[in-house]
Amino acid sequence: MNPTVKAARIAGFVYLSMVVTAPFGLIYVPSKLIVRGNAAATANNILAHETMFRLSIFGDLIGQVIFICLGIALYRLLSKVNKTWAALMVAFVLVSAAVGFLDTLNNIAALILFRGGEFLTVFDKPQRDALAMFFLRLHSQGISIDEIFWGLWLFPFGLLVFRSGFLPRWLGVWLMINCFGYVVLSVIGFFFPAYNDKAFLYLQPVLFGELAIMLWLLIRGANVTALSAEAV
Amino acid sequence: MTARTIEASPKFYARMAGICYLLGAQTSVFGQMVIPGRLVVSGSAATTAANILAHESLYRFAVVLAFITVPFHVVWTILFLKLFKPVSRSIPLLAAFVMLLACAMWTLSVLFSLGPLLVLKSTSSLSAFATEQMQALALVLIKLNGQAYDIGLVFFGLWCILIGYLISESTFLPRTIGVLYAVAGLGYLTLLWQPLAHYLYPYNLALAGPGEVSLLVWLLVKGVNNERWKAQAEAADLLGQ
């Protein structure tokens, strides 16, 4: 197999593994366990499904590792287009992954508080639950912050795809628009939290850019004829 | 593929780095020092809480500025990575990793500074605590923000020392600026030991002035010397082969 096609397929495969695993910790588990504004109910849910909650923490951590691998796989594919933009792409991925790692600490803190334990008996249960709830909210704020990096890395990524010659230009444009989609989403989440769900719904077409490039890399790989034509 | 490569114009890269450096430094100073300095009273949780609630949009503005600094720093880090490649192969990469750690710490500090808003504004979920307790918790989070920011500055200090070394080894930037920049890094390193940093304050941070300002002005006004940069890049290529 042509090395560029191979690099594209590997990147597509790593991308797929991220797209498949991310929703579990990001969407599924919080929607099942966290009851907004109700610390006692959340405490009951998390203690009753502790393994699920732990799995979501584990999944978050693994997700960051996959994200780093994705950054490196895409660097291998796209660094020959322009090394500076490719390095910038990886830099945003690395900062995002580091922040994502640290953000899981908030969920771990919440779990420690929910579980209680001898050293926490100085607080009564509503206080422990309230404090744990605060850490869960801090975790979700952390995700909102990280969301900006999920957007920012797509700009150099999209630009490299646009200029590559072996991937379709419209995908590059879509990715660059996708960048601003995430940034807008994060800004709305920060300043107008009430409209967050609505914005998430309306921005779906924009956010599907990532899904499109993933499928393209996985199924089509890279256009080798375009590459060889350029070489001649 | 008409991308502007660094080989074509290192001066352009240097100027871009200067602009991002300037914007990153300004947003950081205003977001983490100037605006919080007006709202936070470190000895009094109640006054701090009252100030934040009374000037909530100003506080949020500071949080946004403190965040915006991070992408700017990421960009000029990568530009410096390319700019100093002719000087050394591995040290620019090491410097870039150190700076990315600083960026991660600064982002984390932004998360801590969002905490007080959650604590002070949510009356329902934290009603198990008395108002004074919530205000104390908010102040703890503000202090955590400061500590995380300072740890980021320690990494930034390491970056300054590495970059200072690279500048003084380079032929395309003045050696004096390199020395001053490394001295600036030493000032930031004092934050590793908080009692020492408090004892030396504000002189330790004043050390940063000459190095940072001179490099910034040089990058913005003169960029780098194109011919000398290319000469050093070619010499490095010959050595590498």
Domain that holds residue B225: 10-233
CB contact under 8 A, B71 and A98: no
CB contact under 8 A, B115 and A81: no
Please tell me the predicted confidence (pLDDT) of residue B125: 65
Contact list in A for residue B114 (CB cut-off 8 A) is 138, 141, 145
DSSP string, B40-53: --TT-HHHHHHHHH
Contact list in A for residue B13 (CB cut-off 8 A) is 84
In angstroms, the CA A122 to CA A124 distance is 7
A145 touches B: beta carbon within 8 Å: yes
CB contact under 8 A, A99 and B129: no
Triad B35, B38, B41: Cα angle to 5°: 125
A203 touches B: beta carbon within 8 Å: no
| Sequence letter at residue A125 | K
Please tell me the predicted confidence (pLDDT) of residue B2: 43
B77 touches A: beta carbon within 8 Å: yes
B127 touches A: beta carbon within 8 Å: yes
Helix (H, G, I), strand (E, B) or coil at A226: helix
Q: At what angle do helices B175-189 and B131-169 cross, to 10 degrees?
A: 150
Please tell me the predicted confidence (pLDDT) of residue A229: 58
CB contact under 8 A, B104 and A165: no
Triad A139, A142, A148: Cα angle to 5°: 150
* Under 8 Å between Cβ of A165 and B1: yes
CA distances from A227 to A119, A173, A232 (A): 64, 20, 9
Residue B17 lies in a domain: yes
Q: How far is B108 from chain A (nearest CA, A)?
A: 6
Distance of CA B86 to the CA centre of its chain: 24
Residue B176 lies in a domain: yes
Query: Which one of B4, B9, B108 would you mutate to disrupt binding with A, by most A Cβ within 10 Å of its Cβ?
Result: B108
Partner-chain residue, chosen from A87, A95, A131, that has the shortest CB–CB distance to B107: A95
* Under 8 Å between Cβ of B177 and B218: yes
In angstroms, the CA B59 to CA B31 distance is 9
CB contact under 8 A, A145 and B125: no
Residues in chain A: 232
Burial (CB < 10 A; 0-12, 13-18, 19+), residue A218, is middle
Burial (CB < 10 A; 0-12, 13-18, 19+), residue B126, is buried
B125 touches A: beta carbon within 8 Å: yes
Residue B1 lies in a domain: no
Please tell me the predicted confidence (pLDDT) of residue A228: 62
Contact list in A for residue B74 (CB cut-off 8 A) is 88, 91-92, 95, 152
Residue of A nearest to B127 (CA): A130
Q: How far is A203 from chain B (nearest CA, A)?
A: 22
CA distances from A61 to A21, A22, A46 (A): 11, 10, 19
CB within 8 Å of B183: residues ≥ 6 apart: B164, B207, B210, B211
A39 touches B: beta carbon within 8 Å: yes
Distance of CA B176 to the CA centre of its chain: 22
Could you report the predicted ipTM of this complex, rounded to two decimals?
A: 0.90
Partner-chain residue, chosen from A102, A133, A145, that has the shortest CB–CB distance to B67: A145
Provide the domain count of chain B: 1
B34 touches A: beta carbon within 8 Å: no
A114 touches B: beta carbon within 8 Å: no
* Under 8 Å between Cβ of B111 and A141: yes
Please tell me the predicted confidence (pLDDT) of residue B240: 63
A37 touches B: beta carbon within 8 Å: yes
CB contact under 8 A, B115 and A88: no
Residue B241 lies in a domain: no
State the first-to-last Cα distance of chain A, in angstroms, to the nearest integer.
Answer: 20
Determine how many CB atoms are found less than 10 A away from the CB of residue B112: 21
The structure's pTM equals 0.91
Residue B202 lies in a domain: yes
CB contact under 8 A, A190 and B1: no
Please tell me the predicted confidence (pLDDT) of residue A227: 63
Chain A and chain B share a number of CB contacts under 8 A equal to 96
B130 touches A: beta carbon within 8 Å: no
* Under 8 Å between Cβ of B160 and B124: no
For chain A, which ranges sit under pLDDT 50? 232
CB within 8 Å of A112: residues ≥ 6 apart: none
* Longest alpha-carbon distance in chain A: 76
DSSP string, B10-50: HHHHHHHHHHHHHHHHHHHHIIIIIHHHHH--TT-HHHHHH
Q: Return per-residue pLDDT of chain B as tens, 241 residues.
A: 345 677 778 889 999 999 999 999 999 999 998 998 888 888 888 899 889 989 988 999 999 999 999 999 999 999 999 999 999 989 999 999 999 999 999 999 999 999 898 888 876 667 788 888 888 889 999 999 999 999 999 999 999 999 999 999 999 999 999 999 999 999 999 998 888 888 888 888 888 889 899 999 999 998 888 888 888 888 888 766 4
CB contact under 8 A, A95 and B67: no
